[in-house]
Amino acid sequence: DRAYDARSLRDELAARRIKAVIPPNPTRKHPHRYDKTAYKGRNVIERMFCRLKDFRRIATRYDKRADIFLSAILLAAAITWWIN
């Protein structure tokens, strides 16, 4: 995530009224502040998507209909929750 700590990206997010929760690169001369709680929440969501992509059917979008694809995601989420 620290690799995306570019001024141009931060300006783009600010123009869209999106709050950036990117931690500063350690080599930055003037590091900026960021919300650590929001960053932890973002990390949890990223890990959830990685777990869902472990299921081949979801990663390759095997199901073309949206309702069947959603049911596959819900089933994979339930299995992941049950295992953990």
pLDDT at site 61: 85
Encode pLDDT of 36-69 as tens digits: 888 888 888 888 888 888 888 888 888 889 999 9
Supply the DSSP string of 16-32, one letter for each residue: TT----PPPPTT-SSPP
A 10 A CB-CB count for 5 gives 19
